[in-house]
Amino acid sequence: MRLVRAASVAALTALVLTSAGVPASAPQARNGLIVYDSFRHVSADLYTMTAAGKKGRRLTRSPHDDEFPAWSPDGRRIAFGRSRDFVGSIYVMTAAGRKLTRVTPANVNAADPTWSPDGNQLAFTVFTSTTGPEIYVEDLRTHVLKDLTSALGGGLTPAWSPAGSKIAFISMRDDPTGDIYQLYTIAPDGSKLTRLTNEFSDHGAPDWAPNGSQLALSVYSGGNDRIAIINADGTGERKLKTPPAAIDPAWSPDGRRIVFSARPRSAPSRQIYVMGADGRGVRRLTHDHSEAGGPDWQRLR
């Protein structure tokens, strides 16, 4: 349940838990593989690895860019965006990279998928030439599309809550300068729009804690992106100590760790890291020679 990276947002738009530690009520779940994208070859492909950075496997081999994968709630499927020249579609495949299916129409420019808790719907960003980026929901059984945000000022990078009642996203709808993204939630039917943040800092790529009590997201301030934790009602934002340019956070299914991408101090390209939900124990998982990002964590049942 991830983002469009900052540079991609600009290009695409131009084209058209408690105070420290694990939440007390975190659900018991088993952590599976981490899926992520990497530009190891000419284009971005999807890979999986263990939480220790081992047993890496390449899932896609495409001349186009496959990015920002999202595990289905049952851990058996992966949704992701495939793009060429900043025009993208949403695809779904098995956890092994098989049975690839495009689920969005050819005339819809889409990215950043997130699953509903029952696995029957996807929310994603759609880039339009008229109103800019919007949040859409698609029913995977009927393939009916619903625009949630065009009447509300647009949105990016949706993340569906574990209970299914809210979709978190970022938007510049209330910023007269058109520069600052704030965090919002909306019901899947397009009602109950709620603004959660109100500060002069860019927010991006939200992801819900497994128990729904908090969100992890990136916050840009002081010339640097950092991972922050915020309560589901928008209170208690707490920035964690991370490597530079940290974005794309995703919680582990057991609620104890967060995987994210950041830029090593000794290298120009983002890599995948993992840390405790309190920001401690930061550890680098990938050592690619090129960009790696958009991680998501598989839930095992």
Contacts from 223-226 at CB under 8 Å and sequence distance 24+? 225/6
For 104-128, what is the HEC assignment? CCCCCCEEEEEECCCCCEEEEEEEC
Digit-coded pLDDT (tens) for 217-242: 999 988 899 999 999 999 999 999 99
Q: Tell me how many domains the chain contains.
A: 1
| pLDDT value for 150 | 85
103 domain residue, yes or no? yes
Of the listed ranges 10-19, 86-95, 110-119, 160-169, the one predicted with least confidence: 10-19
Quick check: is 80 in a domain? yes
User: Structure tokens of 141?
Assistant: 């059984």
Residue 103 maps to which CATH number? 2.120.10.30
Using CA atoms, how far apart are residues 157 and 148, in angstroms rounded to an integer? 13
Residue 227 lies in a domain: yes
Q: List CB contacts of 72: < 8 A, sequence separation 6 or more.
A: 78, 79, 115, 119
Sign of the four-CA dihedral 256, 53, 98, 111? positive
Give me the pLDDT at residue 26, please: 45
Confidence of residue 197 (pLDDT cuts 50, 70, 90): very high
Per-residue model confidence as pLDDT tens digits over 242-297? 999 999 999 999 999 999 999 998 778 999 999 999 999 999 999 988 899 999 99
pLDDT at 20: 35
Place of tokens 């991972």: 227
CA-to-CA distance for 70 and 88, rounded, in angstroms? Answer: 15
- Residue 201 counted as domain residue: yes
- Tell whether 160 is covered by a domain: yes
Within a domain: 23: no
Query: How high does pLDDT run on average in the chain?
Result: 90
Domain assignment present for 97: yes
Q: Which pTM value belongs to this model?
A: 0.90
Check: CB of residue 243 under 8 Å from CB of residue 281: no
179 or 109, higher pLDDT: 109
For the chain, the three-class secondary structure string (H helix, E strand, C coil) is CCCCCHHHHHHHHHHCCCCCCCCCCCCCCEEEEEEEEECCCCCCEEEEECCCCCCCEECCCCCCEEEEEEECCCCCEEEEEEEECCEEEEEEEECCCCCCEECCCCCCCEEEEEECCCCCEEEEEEECCCCCEEEEEEECCCCCEEECCHHHCCCEEEEECCCCCCEEEEECCCCCCCCCCEEEEECCCCCCCEECCCCCCEEEEEEECCCCCEEEEEEEECCEEEEEEEECCCCCCEECCCCCCCEEEEECCCCCEEEEEECCCCCCCCEEEEEECCCCCCEECCCCCCCEEEEEEEEEC
**Domain around 117:** 6-16+33-300
pLDDT digits over 75-91, tens only? 999 999 999 988 999 99
pLDDT above 90 coverage of the chain, percent: 78
Residue 172 lies in a domain: yes
